[in-house]
Structure 1
Amino acid sequence: MSTHNKSLVMSLTLIATLGGLLFGYDTAVISGAISAIDANFINPRQLDETARLSLSGFTIASALWGCVLGGLVAGWIGDRFGRRRGLMLAALAFLISSVGSAWPELALGLFTSAGPDALWAFNLFRIIGGVGIGIASMLSPLYIAEISPPAERGRMVTYQQLAIVGGIVLVYFVNWLIAAQGDEAYLHSTGWRWMFASEAIPSALFFVLLFFVPESPRWLVMKNRDAEAHAVLRRLTSDAEASVVIKEIGNSLTVQSGKLFAFGGTVVLVGLMLSIFQQTVGINAVLYYAPQMFQNMGASANAALWQTVIIGVANAVFTLVAMFTVDRWGRKPLLILGAGIMAISMLALGALFHANQLGWLSLIMVIVYIAGFALSWGPIVWVMLAEMFPNAIKGRAMSLAVAVQWIANLIVSWSFKLLDGSTALNDVFHHGFAYYVYGGMSVLAAVFVYYYVPETKGRSLEQIQELWQPKNAADKTAAAAASV
């Protein structure tokens, strides 16, 4: 779309990115409540070290089980009911989770604290929120990609990552503000509840605003509702270009079958590996456990929460860098650059922990790591997933990639608690072992991108399809386009 309604595209993008904001908010809200969760649900059980760390890690990462489920069904929901109604379902899941996680005893029919007996209910409500994250993490960037002009699609989808980061920064600040209202006893008894309950406000706002959002024109074409798709495209661009885009979408859907491997296995493998590497570089271990990490560096509990806010701000600032470079420099250079920065900073952080040389330099390494992720693997992977899969398989392929991403997130988040809390590992590495692992994965990520990931900047979604399909299919696509 060379001419387009910039204000409308931006308005719809900003509404869709509220799914990203809630993604970040729900993901990171747990960071301020880790000590309260342990105090209320884990420690009273008097388990041995391995069992205690495992149960705590499972509880902190419980939302990720829902993320996997949400990611798996998001493609079906998006294809069956539409992008907009799928996002509305995600908003409702966020709302239910925020209230239920704050007062899990309500699921037991109680109106007073149930202590460790409410752990299963707490995890259930967190899983429901995770389902919302899984759905929104796929459908929000997909919707944005499907309404954006090719020349600006990378930047527009990057708003999704900025919203995720914004949600993380917002909840870090909210957590810090709530914790500052009292002492540790207050945090363990009451403060943690308000941290989770605060998510109800953006959840309700997201649900209401989605009533004013039109459906994706590409989904409408998939459902043979060309007239409605044309009407939406006319609002987004000119009438003439709307007609051209409708025909391009139609051709992309009919040239190939909708089977997952209709375009070969490479496109699916690349999507899966991008998702896996985005998590195995360790980002969510750092984000979820940031207060614990800073306490390991010697900071007080309050100072650790404040330093976490600083990390969130750095995340937001360097996501802005990605926003203004993704459509200029391209996707591939940014992914390689970011992986290199993360590798250096994580290996250095591991060495600093290993040598017990902690202080301002270790904090700088964390900030550098966050900067490397924020200008590359944070936003760019979502851009790639939203645009790289051909239209005929986009729903299923992206859903699978998102589900695998959350499985990797779950493994990383759960294992960090074990790695960082292991007495045997800490006797040798002094809390540094996990960071060595993340540094090594960053090196592998850079190598993978260099050899296997194509550049997609500046291409329409239908043109990107031609990168993956066999030559004879590409010839058929060209012939179909020429006959229009």
Structure 2
Amino acid sequence: MPRKPSIYLFEDNSPGDQTPRQRLWPQRSFGNAAERARRNINAKLSNPLAGFSHAELRRQGRTFAISNEIGDDASDIRAFELGAVLAQAPEKYEKVRGLTAQEKEVLRQEFANRWSQPWSMYAVIALCSLSAAVQEWTKRLETWLSGLVNAAPYLCCAFLGCWLTVPFNHYFGRRGTIFLTCCFSALACLWQSFTSTWWGLFVARFALGLGIGPKSATVPVYAAETAPPAIRGALVMQWQMWTAFGIMLGYAADLAFYHVPDPKGVVGLNWRLMLGSALLPALVVCAFVFFCPESPRWYMAKKQYYRAYRSICAVRHNKIQAARDMYYMYTLLEAENSMKLGQNKLWELITVPRNRRAMLASEIVMFLQQFCGVNVIAYYSSEIFLEANFSAASALGASLGWGVINWVFAIPAVYTIDTFGRRNLLLVTFPLMAVAMFFTGFSFWIPDDTDAHHAAHIGCVALGLYLFGIVYSPGEGPVPFTYSAEVYPLYVRSYGMALATATLWFFNFVLGVTWPSLSAAFTIQGGFAWYAGWNIVGFWLILLFMPETKGKTLEELDQVFSVPTRFHAQYGLRQIRYVVKRYVLRDKNVQPEILYEKEEMIPVQDLGYNA
């Protein structure tokens, strides 16, 4: 049996300390031992292979392969013998006996060159990218639609679409869900292009949410479950990067079809072509989705181990890598199945402290992705530019420029999200987004009575919106989906992602339906100031309640989210003091505080807290 789960201490560097001192969490009781164990139930998933000898792991891997009839020959059984050993500590491959020189080189390249992957892995990347582009292309409607009709798909996502994620994934798998939702999207795009009444357009747009909702929760999970660990963060964030690409394509379609004249008997051919054109990437995804491998974890959940092995071999260079990753998935699934959880997984998100903290952080970043104000620009940028006295064609051109910036500046996040960190990206960019929002709003007060004033007026408005796109794209753009896809334990991941995406789309709906009234009541200056204020609030929420997940293994994430909320909030406030001393007062002797430490361990069942 694996050794008992454990949880790490953390360091507290109080002012004036020359060396960090260890600090224990308060040891409060919550009733009997069973209740305390239940509250820390996620620790069972921390490291299911810890404590086994290499000989025992080889025996387990061989037994697993033979009993489940995996593989075609002795090489497959050997792969699982060695793969089980590697699954315990993948980075220690040099110490595993029995690996050939060629196999060691493959494993070495996995860590040295993380983007050296089989073509099928890049097919998965392309699939995830196109799936993201599908939904965002459909957003570019603001010049002709507003309010409720514009936000209809996101109303459906919040209350119906996202909650279809769990049954769709259960019955149809990840690929099947992506295929179905892209079919829904294509049909809804075609439907809305043929409508002739506002309520018909509303119904068609509402039906579009049946495609957007489950897909937005499934694609990041599919990416996370298919990708090797070395590129998992970068691959999951492709969702947002290519979402931005879809927005850019939508702006391009707006501009391309703007001057299309109406033939005899047809009204509004240009906007009908804009709406209908979004079905093109959806059809491409439907055509080649089944050429990509299914998620091996989904096959394993269905006890189809041979298919899971074939699937994971398709996205790995070597059988050793495939066997390693598959055996680790298997041990995690067995750990999940051994836990006697309640029937309602959504309730587990609230009652289990580790899950609750992950949910809080995930909900914060998903809420803020909308209330930072980005989709006010994405939906209504052309109208905003028209308010700034751009011509109609120039407004569409300026909107396309914003779309290009939004996509181009998301590309660096492929590197920075795993180096600079999720939390640090947000702490830096939220204040800058607030400044850009204030600057844009205040620019509308620049007089527009002369040619010089007109040039300054429209130039400053465009500059403010572009600056916002520059700082949003590598920060609050890619982080929320990446963060939400990784913070939940496997046994509640689909439920956590369904809740996270439902939250995002609900507040997306709120922005879409309220901006016309908000800008009319507050003036456009007040509307931008409103969202600038939310960016300031967002900085404090991130500082206090969002732990960093960069470079963390599953074991370390369980440690991170087992730290009581109040301790992390206090740590966040102390970081302000460090930043002031280090970067304002230029004190080079001050050292950053280390919140998590691995040097000593205490049994998790001894910690009965409820933060």
Q: 2:239 matched to which residue of 1?
A: 160
Q: 2:336 matched to which residue of 1?
A: 253
Distance 1:248 1:201 in 2: 41
1:147 aligned onto 2:237:
no
Kept in 1: contact 2:360–2:545 (CA 8 A)? no
Distance 1:264 1:315, change over 3 A: closer
The structural deviation recorded for 1:473 is 12
The structural deviation recorded for 1:458 is 2.1
1:432 aligned onto 2:544:
no
Distance 1:188 1:352, change over 3 A: farther
The structural deviation recorded for 1:233 is 2.4
The structural deviation recorded for 1:100 is 0.5
Q: 1:304 matched to which residue of 2?
A: 395
Q: 1:364 matched to which residue of 2?
A: 463
Q: 1:75 matched to which residue of 2?
A: 166
- Give 1:21-420 correspondences, 5 Å limit: 21-28=133-140, 30-31=141-142, 34-35=143-144, 37=145, 56-68=146-158, 69-104=160-195, 114=196, 118-182=197-261, 189-237=268-316, 238-254=321-337, 256=339, 257=341, 258=345, 259-261=348-350, 262=352, 263-354=354-445, 356=447, 358-420=457-519
Kept in 2: contact 1:76–1:396 (CA 8 A)? no
1:464 aligned onto 2:557:
yes
Question: Per-residue displacement from partner, 1:211-256 (whole Å, max 9, x unpaired)?
Answer: 2122212222333333332332233332442344234432552465
Distance 2:157 2:538 in 1: 23
**TM-score, structure 1 normalization:** 0.84
Kept in 2: contact 1:252–1:462 (CA 8 A)? no
The structural deviation recorded for 1:401 is 1.1
Distance 1:385 1:417 in 2: 30
Distance 2:485 2:258 in 1: 37
Kept in 2: contact 1:13–1:156 (CA 8 A)? yes
Distance 1:66 1:186 in 2: 33
Distance 2:270 2:279 in 1: 16
Kept in 2: contact 1:95–1:203 (CA 8 A)? yes
Question: Per-residue displacement from partner, 1:254-273 (whole Å, max 9, x unpaired)?
Answer: 46535333444221122112
Kept in 2: contact 1:176–1:305 (CA 8 A)? yes
Q: Which runs of 5+ in 1 are unaligned?
A: 38-55, 105-113, 477-484
Match of 1:443 among 536, 540, 543: 536
Q: 2:595 matched to which residue of 1?
A: none
Range moving further from structure 2, 374-383 or 8-17: 8-17
The structural deviation recorded for 1:392 is 0.7
Kept in 2: contact 1:165–1:316 (CA 8 A)? yes
The structural deviation recorded for 1:79 is 3.5
Distance 1:470 1:150 in 2: 24
Distance 1:146 1:188, change over 3 A: same
Helix, strand or coil: the match of 1:375? coil
- Partner AA of 1:406 in structure 2: W
Distance 1:193 1:82 in 2: 33
The structural deviation recorded for 1:274 is 1.3
Distance 1:415 1:64, change over 3 A: same
- Partner AA of 1:84 in structure 2: R
Range moving further from structure 2, 334-343 or 349-358: 349-358
Distance 1:14 1:78, change over 3 A: same
Kept in 2: contact 1:168–1:312 (CA 8 A)? yes
Distance 1:334 1:186 in 2: 53
Structure with higher helix content = 1
Kept in 1: contact 2:444–2:525 (CA 8 A)? yes
Distance 2:266 2:234 in 1: 39
Distance 2:322 2:376 in 1: 48
**Matched-pair identity in %:** 23
Kept in 2: contact 1:466–1:474 (CA 8 A)? no
Question: Per-residue displacement from partner, 1:195-224 (whole Å, max 9, x unpaired)?
Answer: 111122211111111121222122223333
Distance 1:381 1:474 in 2: 32
- Over the aligned positions, Cα root-mean-square deviation in angstroms equals 2.6
Distance 1:226 1:452 in 2: 39
- Partner AA of 1:129 in structure 2: L
Distance 2:496 2:400 in 1: 35
Kept in 2: contact 1:391–1:462 (CA 8 A)? no
The structural deviation recorded for 1:318 is 0.6
- Partner AA of 2:329 in structure 1: I
Distance 1:194 1:462 in 2: 50
Distance 2:170 2:229 in 1: 22
Helix, strand or coil: the match of 2:203? helix
Range moving further from structure 2, 4-13 or 291-300: 4-13
- Partner AA of 1:58 in structure 2: L
The structural deviation recorded for 1:328 is 1.3
**TM-score, structure 2 normalization:** 0.67
- Partner AA of 1:162 in structure 2: M
Distance 1:412 1:354 in 2: 24
Distance 1:25 1:284 in 2: 13
Helix, strand or coil: the match of 2:389? coil
The structural deviation recorded for 1:182 is 4.1
Q: Which runs of 5+ in 2 are unaligned?
A: 1-89, 92-106, 111-116, 448-455, 565-600, 606-611
Kept in 2: contact 1:280–1:438 (CA 8 A)? yes
Distance 1:24 1:465, change over 3 A: farther
Distance 2:556 2:165 in 1: 25
